[in-house]
Amino acid sequence: MMEKEYVDEINSEHERISLKLNELLASIDDSDTDSTDINSEDFEEAEEEQEVCNEKDEIIDNLEQTRFTPCVIVDFIEGEIKQCKKTTNLRQLRNLFGTWQVDRDAVNEVDGVLSKLGVCDSHFQFDNK
């Protein structure tokens, strides 16, 4: 009879471990579902932010322009934040990659015709190393 009690004890211990394992697995499945919901919410928010950014992006027409304004990029120059204003090796603003601040007064000078705005070679090549 002692052996039967021992077998019952083993079976109940095995069942107890099995139940705990099943509870743990169920708990993990629940937390995976929660994190999936969170990740999809994060993805939707990021997608909405990207759409807002895309709405703010402005495509500049490619015009054969040979005369550009001095470099319109605002940068930290000689200890001050100001427009670059270099006049050599200018390129059209439409070819510039990245996020830059453009001097508002320079845009007003060309009546908002962005194809007339120039960017110096040093700003144009800033990320090309």
The model carries a pTM of 0.48
Q: Give 84-122 pLDDT, tens digit per residue.
A: 999 988 888 887 888 888 999 999 999 988 888 999 988
Q: Which element (helix H / strand E) includes 82?
A: strand 80-83
Distance CA 75, CA 119 (A): 12
The pLDDT value recorded for residue 70 is 93
Backbone angles phi, psi at 93, to 5 degrees: -55, -30
pLDDT of residue 53: 63
What's the rounded mean pLDDT across residues 64-70? 76
Tell me the percentage of the chain whose pLDDT exceeds 90.
22
- Angle value at C-alpha 115, between 76 and 84, nearest 5 degrees: 15
In this model, does residue 123 exceed pLDDT 80?
yes
Radius of gyration of the chain from Cα atoms? 32
Residue with token string 């200890």:
79
Antiparallel, parallel or unpaired: β 90-92 and 118-120: antiparallel
The SS3 of residue 64 is: coil
Distance CA 90, CA 71 (A): 7
The token duo for 2 is 């002692």
